[in-house]
Amino acid sequence: MNHSLLRRAALALMLAGALASCGGGDAAPELRSTQFGAVEGLALASDVFAWKGIPFAKAPTGALRWRAPVDPDAWTAPRPAKDFAAACVQYGRIYGPGANNRYDETIGTTLGQSVGSEDCLAMNIWSRGQAGRKLPVIVFFHGGSNVSGYTADPMYDGAALAGTGEAVVVTVNFRLGIFGFLNLPQLRTGNDSANDSGNFALLDSIKALQFINRNIDAFGGDPGNVTIMGESAGAINVYALLTSPLMTSANPKLFHRAVALSGGISMASNLPPGSVPTLNPAPVALAQGNALLSNLLIADGKATDTASAQAFAATQTSAQITDYLRGKSSTALFTTLLTKLSLVGLAGSGPIPDGAVVATDPIGAINAGNYVKVPVLAGNTRDEGKLFPSFLFLVGGAGNARLPTDAALFANHFNYQPDAAPQTTLEQWIAPSYLPVDAPVTGFTARAEQLNKVFFLASRDNVLNALKAKQPDVWYYRFDWDEQPAPWNQIYGAAHVFDLPFVFGNFGPSLFSNIMNTSANRVGRFDLSYAMMRSVGAFARNGDPNDVALGVTWPTWPRKLLFDATPTAGRISVE
């Protein structure tokens, strides 16, 4: 690979992508048709067009809260599609939308508060293609533990990937937390197993894929070549779709490749003892639903404890309980979740293995051949565990390894000057019991790697080995880039989520941009990002991630490709 030539090409394309993400008020509108009406988007730089906030379902509010998504109402005049739809309702986290549905200082002031909207089921499309061009389609599902995240996060802007990867890129909103996953008997109708599954977020994702199948041709995409891609919780959802009974029987087929980054789909029963599962069994979701209802009834004075709450609920019809819950504001629901359910470990969310929407045992489904057999590309970052210092007690650590609060973390990252002298120290960031960071066994790096092994890598081996036993076309990468300025190279290194800016070609404002992107590492970053985007595009196009930009031949799993870079050049190798 001619690194000098590649770097120049990467720099030109990345700068074009950065301009594309900004758009412009004077850009010419671009009209495309959908089954519900025409949408008017924006012409961006590098011949990329963007359409944002296209509804693919009605707002899941009122009688549609905790129901499967339904088609939106059609519109007659061209619908403006130049702005992102609201983030789906969630409680504020450092990975969330803040008060303004964008990366700004309000993210740090809305932590734990209700943000976003229930009227959120929309998608965004970036494309260089005219109608009928038949470009491969990449549909991305964001991470955030399935409780937070938003497609307006500038890290997920699809312009650079659409241009460099020569694909149509789609990002999708889906319901989150207890709005997206809720198992409660009173909410079930008994008439529809999918509706009764509690997996509303996955039903949203399927609804979006159906919209894409019927409409993406107008945006230059090929409905017969769709790649679903997700990171973290989004990767868990990708695996859930891969093994979903609804998807194995879907006609037409709604996706044809799968990319799962830093995720898994294994229950404890699938893994070696001591592993941390990436999927909870259905009874956990049922316990959450019952606890939510009981605590709401107690808070409203209708009961004094769990037993009396259950007794009161038994006197109500399912319709009465459903109306009661639908009458609760998001603030009331999140307050109960964070002040009551979190204390007993029931604040999380994710796919519910109900047997209708999500397989009762996804790994078992793969082993039995009951899954959507498509090429699979998976990846992890080398230091996944470093983003989860509060979990290190699971591997023998003494409590939370990180000293600053989330609010302090956000303020630090938002205002950090990456090209200036260091503005923090390891001692201000990492708890003393984890220092020195490179100490064997007890150091922060060693504890984080042990968490990585029992959490991310245990599920990785489980799912990829099951897939490889059934099909040859399984690829895997490890992301090793850790060229942040000190001390962030030790605090984070190649941490969870740090590969995403490279996959999307976006190094602009985001939670980690100010602590990872320096003038000194810029050329190497762009070089590596260019190769990664080309490879993702090749996989979407051909079902094989090999591309000349890699400079090496990428073999299938269990061998792996290592993505890395020096400050001045990509460094890609095979292991």
- How far lies 18's CA from each of 10, 15, 217, 571, in Å? 12, 5, 26, 23
Q: How far apart are CA 241 and CA 362, in angstroms?
A: 10
- Answer yes or no: are the C-beta atoms of 435 and 426 closer than 8 Å: yes
Structure tokens at 138: 């990449």
Structure tokens at 478: 């490890």
Paired sense of beta strands 37-43 and 29-34, if any: antiparallel
Structure tokens at 209: 């894929």
The three-state secondary structure class of 196 is helix
Q: How far apart are CA 309 and CA 323, in angstroms?
A: 17
Nearest CA among 425, 345, 353, 352 for reference residue 391: 345
Q: How far apart are CA 333 and CA 174, in angstroms?
A: 18
Q: How far apart are CA 76 and CA 128, in angstroms?
A: 26
Please name the residue that has the structure tokens 């029992």.
454
Q: How far apart are CA 47 and CA 131, in angstroms?
A: 14
Helix 282-299 with 318-326: angle, nearest 10 deg? 70
Alpha helices in 393-510 (DSSP H): 406-415, 426-429, 444-452, 458-468, 488-491, 500-504
Please name the residue that has the structure tokens 């090409």.
9
Nearest CA among 401, 292, 267 for reference residue 342: 292
What amino acid positions are annotated as catalytic residues?
232
Consecutive H or E run containing 229:
strand 221-231
Paired sense of beta strands 90-91 and 114-115, if any: antiparallel
Helix 233-242 with 200-215: angle, nearest 10 deg? 70
What are the beta bridge partners of residue 54? Answer: 123
What's the 3-state SS for 132-174? Answer: CCCEEEEEEECCCCCCCCCCCCHHHCCHHHHHHCCCEEEEECC
- Answer yes or no: are the C-beta atoms of 400 and 389 closer than 8 Å: yes
Q: Give the DSSP letter string of 443-455.
A: SHHHHHHHHHIII
CA angle 457, 458, 464 (to 5 degrees): 80
Structure tokens at 341: 């359910």
Q: How far apart are CA 528 and CA 503, in angstroms?
A: 9
